[in-house]
Amino acid sequence: MHSFSDTPAGFRSGFVSFVGRPNTGKSTLTNALVGQKIAITADQPETTRHPIRGLIHRPDAQVVVVDTPGLHRPRTLLGERLNEIVKDTYADVDVIGLTIPADEKIGPGDRWILDNVREVAPKTTIIGIVTKVDKVSRDEVAAQLVALYDLLGGDEANAEVIPVSATAGEQVDVLADVLVKHLPEGPKYYPDDHLTDDDIETRIAELIREAALSGLRDELPHSVAVEIDEMFDDPEGRDRLNIYAILYLERPGQQRIIEGPEGRRLQSIVQRSRKQIIELLDRNVYLDLRIKVLKNWQSDPKQLGRLGF
């Protein structure tokens, strides 16, 4: 990767990753720090399927946020592959933020994650982040900060813990300052107008997937994948981009859930994601979304490869 030479003296740059149990607010935090919606946020665990890098540009630093799938005990072949990607990512970053929500007790799952991260990235700085602090009282936030400080090893590890609320925008700047402090001095990796290095097709597929998952909670936890089949400028000369996408599910019953009564749910998925895609591309879009059932794709190596895992 080339660097951009106009970096002032003392400029810091590097890579940061957030780790934590599913749904601890990692993607929301990334979006708040970057100041633009790049990582998808949904109610399901494991919605983030591959590293999305968001960039924080400051006069004194450039922070590259690597958003990884949550580290979890694998149940399927997909789960094992995701864990491999995660481990590679953690070994490469400068700072890891362990996210713990303010409204849930620290448990064995958090300890398991911390042990795993320390194993794959023994030299990497780990800071503690208590998320969702807008949901509980100040006393509860304080108690959680102390518990997280102890989990990280307290004074022996010179542990740093920071409370944030990404949705309310509280303490996000403070967190950015702490992240920067732990980065090495170095060049800019990306130009100033760059926000994410994800290719546009992937971002569009993720927006569609997010719209499909929203409001479903547990009915289709991880059986949804989206593939962009074709994207091209409108052949009739209209100023719009035509996007043809396929939503893959594992069972016919899931198709009925996604379509909803008289296909209304599917229509609203198309409307919602189209609106987001228009916002992302700043141009008019025609979106054609079809559903295909691929039996048990998550455990089939051939299908996994086809869908990019």
Task: Tell whether residue 133 is among the known ligand binding residues.
Answer: yes
Cα(222)–Cα(224) distance, integer angstroms: 6
**Where are the strands (E) in 201-301, listed by range?**
225-233, 240-249, 284-293
Number of neighbours of residue 100 by Cβ within 10 angstroms: 26
Task: Tell whether residue 132 is among the known ligand binding residues.
Answer: yes
**Where are the strands (E) in the chain, listed by range?**
12-19, 52-58, 61-67, 95-101, 125-131, 161-163, 225-233, 240-249, 284-293
Task: Tell whether residue 131 is among the known ligand binding residues.
Answer: yes
Cα(23)–Cα(11) distance, integer angstroms: 33
> On the CB side of 198, how many CA atoms lie within 13 Å of its CA?
28
Task: Tell whether residue 23 is among the known ligand binding residues.
Answer: yes
Task: Tell whether residue 67 is among the known ligand binding residues.
Answer: yes
Task: Tell whether residue 27 is among the known ligand binding residues.
Answer: yes
Cα(124)–Cα(90) distance, integer angstroms: 8
Task: Tell whether residue 154 is among the known ligand binding residues.
Answer: no
Task: Tell whether residue 21 is among the known ligand binding residues.
Answer: yes
Task: Tell whether residue 37 is among the known ligand binding residues.
Answer: no
Beta bridge partners of 165: 170
Task: Tell whether residue 308 is among the known ligand binding residues.
Answer: no
Task: Tell whether residue 109 is among the known ligand binding residues.
Answer: no
Task: Tell whether residue 26 is among the known ligand binding residues.
Answer: yes
Residue 84 backbone phi and psi in degrees, to 5: -60, -45
Task: Tell whether residue 101 is among the known ligand binding residues.
Answer: no
Q: Taking Cα atoms as reference points, which of 258, 256, 262 lies closest to residue 226?
A: 258
Kindly give the pairing relationship between strand 12-19 and strand 95-101.
parallel
Task: Tell whether residue 268 is among the known ligand binding residues.
Answer: no
Task: Tell whether residue 107 is among the known ligand binding residues.
Answer: no
Task: Tell whether residue 68 is among the known ligand binding residues.
Answer: yes
Cα(218)–Cα(70) distance, integer angstroms: 17
Task: Tell whether residue 69 is among the known ligand binding residues.
Answer: yes
Which residues contribute to the annotated binding site for GTP? 20-27, 67-71, 131-134
Binding-site annotation, residues: 20-27, 67-71, 131-134
